[in-house]
Structure formats: structure tokens, C-alpha cells
A and B are shown apart, each in its own frame.
Chain A
């Protein structure tokens, strides 16, 4: 007979308490008296603790075994821990564990009738304890065992409550942990914020330093350009005087003297070259160099260079070859600067090539629209590590031709600066001892420098009407300058409200374009100020903005409002309205032929004429009153309403009485047709259509019509 009553796992320290109470209850149920219940419970408690302490847990099973007179209550405690290494020592009491717990095993053995322990290092420990059931205990039948198990189960709820409280405690612990983590995070966050502040402060410092450096660099450039000029004057005197001496106009020189003066002259010449290079470099750095773009071909550039540089070739050891460049596209950039870069490359190549050739050729990249010019030599080459040095001012690399070849060390830095000025780059490809290839790559069409030229130029053009453009965004102000280019309005940019006030002290603009976005409240204040002063309250102000504050603008006294982005027609119209000028002649073309549309648009300069189109007379009449032109160009043969019917309808309306009409026709007119056109100003044959005939025709009819138009 063998009944298993219960199996319990020990996984946590609190499980020991559970095991204890279960053991006591079981011992009671199977029939032990109080004293034995305490003994068994104590023994199990010791073993359970051992299993938890030394093996981080285990299992305990309780069974009833044996037949009637010799029934026993058996408890087996199993763990999978490291085992007990000196079991005999522990059991004999000669050895106590480090934690002083050795007493557990010995004590438990004393408390039970039978005690076996099997332990192998690494394979866990099994303890089997038995206690004989008292003779008066209830008989062990399946029914009795079932009853015991049922009673045990009835204790369950208490255990469940304990379990819940245990879990609650765990949750509390975890919450506490979470809280700690949150605190950690907050601390970390704080730390990061501090760091961030530090970084911002560092940035500010760096900016300041950069500013210092920039100023120092500027000073240096100014100094150089100034000094170079000062150097030149005495140098020129030396050169002139030595030339005078050598010409013997002041008497004969001895051979010795002639040699000495020759040296003086040579030295002065070298110094002049150095000063020239310095001056060029300083000019580029100070931003004083302007790009003067013109159209030229690579072939003509090569031709000029060939002539200029041939004198540098001494002897027959080095040949200078320019490859054919007839197929290259035209360049539109600064020829002088490009030529200077190439001169530098080629003269260097010749200097550092003892024997072989210097080849110059050009390539083009149609996608990027760039042109590359290459100069390859078979000279001494440059070590990879030295390539950076040669682009530094006064940087020179030690080489075996040092004694023979002289240079200022400024040529390549200057070439690099010039290339950058043209929007390009320089690449060097070199193998020590085999030669170098210098390549400059620049945009085929140079656009650098344009913005600076029109920027903040407050010189007034007497022919045009000054318009003050208050705009802090350079891109926007540039756009407005472009839009007004060629019109009668001269844009004068003020980048701040302060500049604008300064400007108005000297010049009274015909209109003001006021940007709202950037300057914010400041620009509104300027508007209010203008309106409250006697001096400025009649200057028309047009507010430009992308924020759409039309009502505010009008309320504060703006004459007009333009939403950004602004286009040319709207801008000119607004300025015309504001100034009461007629800066453009408004031309209505009534014609069905697209060729004529195109022609007229091309023939009339866009800056002075605004052309819009109607495809027939009906269409034209529909829009005539809302958009009144200065002059009408009328075709006669059109589908729908033709030119004749249009004319008669137009003349019926008295409000268009003075409106001049120029007839464009491709056919020869009958006399009666001519007479019906008597109300028109002029008839032009389409075959005669050319820019000056059209412009003259419009000019003369407008002049005849009571001088409408501003020009």
C-alpha cells in the first residue's frame, strides 16, 4: 500500500512557510499527536530551507506507505542543487557549513524515526525521512486518503489568499522598481538637458571664435592688398632706374657694373612678380574681384595661351601641345580668370618638366553643363601627401629642381581661389617621378557674382522711378529686382526697417514694397509711421506677405497688398496703380493664328509691353471692359466674330471711343474694305511685321491719342 498525499514545490523563500503549515496539517490529519506534528514540521522546515538555501528550490512529496502494524509517513525532499560535498563530515557534526546551518541535517535526523540522505556533487540531494504512524491512527484506506486530500484542499482558500497577498507584494515591489527607474530617467533627462545647455554655450563660443578668425583673415587680406600696392611703387622706380642705367643714357657702365645692375633688375623683377601674385590673391580674398563673363571658345583661349607661353619653353626638351578643341561648346564665363588659372598650370608644368611634353586639352560634361580643362606634364610629379601643401599660400614642396626653378608659392593657391570664384574646382592627379595632371572644372556658364552686383546698390537711376523694397530675405529681394529689371521702376533694397528709414532720409521713393513676414511688428510700425508723418504719407505702400493679412495691411494704410510669390505682371500692375504711371503699354491682340500670337509677343519687348490675346471679336468684347488695353492689334479674318464686326461693335460703345486700333492683315484690302476701316489708326501688313515697325506703330498711335502712356 502506497499513497501519495501531496507534492509541493519550493521556489521562493515564502514557500517554506507554506510547506511548514502544510506539513503540520498533514501530520495532524494522518493521526500524529501534537508533539510529533511539531517534530515532523520542524524537520521538514529544516530540509525545505536547506533545499532553498543551497539549491534555489526543490520538491517535497508526502506519502503513506507500509501495512497495518508498521505504517509510516514518508517525506522525500529532492533538489537539483550542487549537492553536499562532505556529507559524512556534516552528519557527524565535525563539519559545520559556512552559514552555520549544519545543525539542520543532524537535528532533522534526530527528530525523525528514519533518515536517509543521498547526495552526489553536481547531481542534487535527496532526503528521505520516515516517521511511524501511531497505532491508534485511522486505518489507511483509499477512502481515508481521499478524505485527507479533500481536507487539505479545503485549506486551499487560505493558501489562495496568501498567494494573492504574495503576488500583491511582488507587484508592489515591481511598482517600486518602476518608480525608481522613472526617477533614474528623470535624472538622466536632467543631465541631458544640462549637457545640452553646455553644448549650446560651446556653440556660441565657437561662433564667436569663428567670427574672430574671419575678422583676422579679412584684416590680413586688407593688409596684403594695401601693402602690395605700396610695394609696387618703389619697385617700379627700381625697375625704371635700372633700365635707365642699362640703356647707358647716363654714361657708360663697366662690365662689372652692368652685371650688378642686371642682378638688381632681375631681383626687382622677381619681387614684382611676387607682389603681383600677392595682390591678386588678396583681391580675391577680400572679395574685390568681380567676375566679368563673356562668350568665348576654348580654341581661342588655347590660341592666346599658346602665344603667351611659348617663350617659357627653353630648348627642345619640352614640347607644349594643345589638343584640338573645335568641337567644344562656347563658354560664358570670365576668360581672363580662366586664362590665369591655365597659365599657372602650364607654367608650373613647364617648370617641373625636364624632358617630355606638356599637353593641354578640354573635355565637357553636358549633363552638369561643365567644362574641364586639363594640363598634363611628364615632370617630377608630386607625392600624394604633398598635394595639400601646394595649395597652401607660400607652400612649396622640396624637390630636386629646387635650385633651378623659382616660384612664389602663390600660383596654385591663387588658381584655386579663382576657380572657386568661377564656381569650379581643381583636381590634381600625380605620380611621383612620372608627372602630374591638373584639371580645373567650371560651369560652362558662370552665374556667380550677379547677385552682388545689384545688391544694395542705392545709386539712383535718373531715368527710372525709385521703388524702395523693404525685404530681409536676399532671395526674395533678388527675385523682385529681377522682376523689375527693364521696367521703369528701379528697385532699391533695404534689408531692414532701419535701412529703410536711413534710405528715406536721402531719397524719396515713388513707392514702397514692404515685406511683412520677416520684420514682423517692425514693418507694421514703419507703415504706421509713414502714414502719420506729413512727409511720407502720400508715398504709396504695397505690402507683400505670404501670411495673407490683407485687412490689417489696408487698415494700417497700405495702398495695395500682394501675396507672395509675386509675379511680374501683378507687381508691375500694382506699382502702376500705386504710382498712377503707365509703365507698360497694354496690348490686346485679337487674332486666331498662333503664329501671330508668338510673333507679336516676341517682337514687343516684354519689359515695356504687356500682351494678352483674344481668339476672336466676341471673346475680346467680353473681356474688354474689365481689362482695358492701351491699344488693340486686330486681325480681320477670324472664325466667329471677324475684325469688321468687332470694329463696328467697338465704335458703338462710347466708353471705348479713344481706344486706338491697329489692323494686322495678311491680305490686300479692297477700297470699300479700307473705307470701313477708317475708324482705325493704322493698317499693317503681316508680311511687314517686325519689331521696330510694330513698336513705332504703337508709339505713333498712342502719341496721336492724347499722349497716353508714360514714355
Chain B
């Protein structure tokens, strides 16, 4: 089975989805990621979906799940590189990625993660606002 590589940058994990994922691959990624978070004691997870041409309800839900699980494991998830067409379609589809933080690209994503790790209270405050 092909699998999606998970790279480690400092205390962050970087997942770059370069192929159109089928559902089982998506579920496998979910499992791998949670295990790696624990194994590497990662504090942040960045998912690069710049190569994805579509994000349908299943993949959207998978992203949501990953964000929720990492939060439980004390890690922050940021999705970066979403295409505009994908973003529009997601909204039209009625699927807000409510639990997922997003950033425009990898640089900004890393910065966001760093900031949240350093000031967890502010992050929560951001949310509540």
C-alpha cells in the first residue's frame, strides 16, 4: 500500500499530501499521524494540501478528525496551501473546517504553530472571541 510520508521538522510533523487520496489511504494517514505524534512527542502538525484538487466531505471530515485528535494529544494542527477553488467548494458544500486552523503556506503555518505553542492561553482566547 502506498502511504503518505510524514516528515519531522523540530517538534512539528509535516504531511504533504501529493496524491489524490482514496478513503482507505486517508484513514491510514489518520492512524499514522496520531502514532507519530505520540512517538515523536510532536507539538504541531502541518498538513499541506496544496496538491489536492478537491476536498470532499470525507477528506474534510478526515482533516477535522486529525485536528481534534492532535488536540487531545496536545498538538496543534494547521492545514496549509488550500487552493481557492477548493476553499470555495468546501464552503458551498456546507463543510466548514471548524476545528482546523489554516494558513496560506508552509512558512505562515510554521509561524502560527510556533505562536500557539508558545502562548497557549492566547490561542484559547482567540478561539473564544
Contacts and interface: CB of A to CB of B under 8 A. Distances in A.
Interface of A: 13-14, 16-17, 20-21, 24, 34-35, 37-39, 41-42, 45-46, 49, 100-101, 103-104, 106-108, 110-111, 165, 169
Given A35-B85, A42-B89, A103-B93, A49 B58 contact: yes
A691 B105 CA distance: 130
Interface residues of B, number: 24
Interface stretch (B20-28, B31-39, B114-122): B20-28
Q: Which 4 A-B pairs have the closest CB atoms?
A: A107-B93, A38-B85, A45-B56, A17-B22
21 contacts: A13-B22, A37-B53, A37-B85, A38-B86, A38-B88, A39-B85, A39-B92, A42-B55, A42-B56, A42-B89, A45-B56, A45-B58, A46-B56, A46-B93, A49-B58, A103-B94, A103-B95, A104-B56, A111-B89, A111-B93, A169-B1
B74 to A, nearest CB: 26
Interface in B79-104: 83-86, 88-89, 92-95
Contact of A16 (B23, B92, B95): B23
Contacts of A41: 53-54
A100 B61 contact: yes
B54 A38 contact: yes
Nearest to B93: A107
Contacts of A20: 20, 54
Question: Do most interface residues of chain A lie in helix, strand or loop, or is the interface mixed?
Answer: helix
A17 B54 contact: no
B59 to A, nearest CB: 9
A110 B93 contact: yes
Contacts of B85: 34-35, 37-39
Interface string B5-37: 000000000000000111110000000000000
B69 to A, nearest CB: 16
B99 to A, nearest CB: 14
Given A39-B92, A45-B54, 15 more contacts: A13-B22, A16-B23, A17-B20, A17-B21, A17-B22, A35-B89, A38-B54, A38-B88, A41-B53, A42-B55, A42-B89, A46-B56, A46-B93, A103-B57, A111-B93
A155 to B, nearest CB: 13
Interface string B62-89: 0000000000000000000001111011
Contacts of B1: 169
B108 to A, nearest CB: 23
B54 A24 contact: yes
Contact of A111 (B22, B53, B84, B92): B92
Nearest to A52: B23
A18 to B, nearest CB: 9
Contacts of B20: 17, 20-21
B62 to A, nearest CB: 12
A111 B23 CA distance: 21
Contact of A107 (B21, B22, B24, B92): B92
Contacts of A165: 2
Contact of A38 (B2, B21, B53, B58): B53
Contacts of B56: 42, 45-46, 49, 104
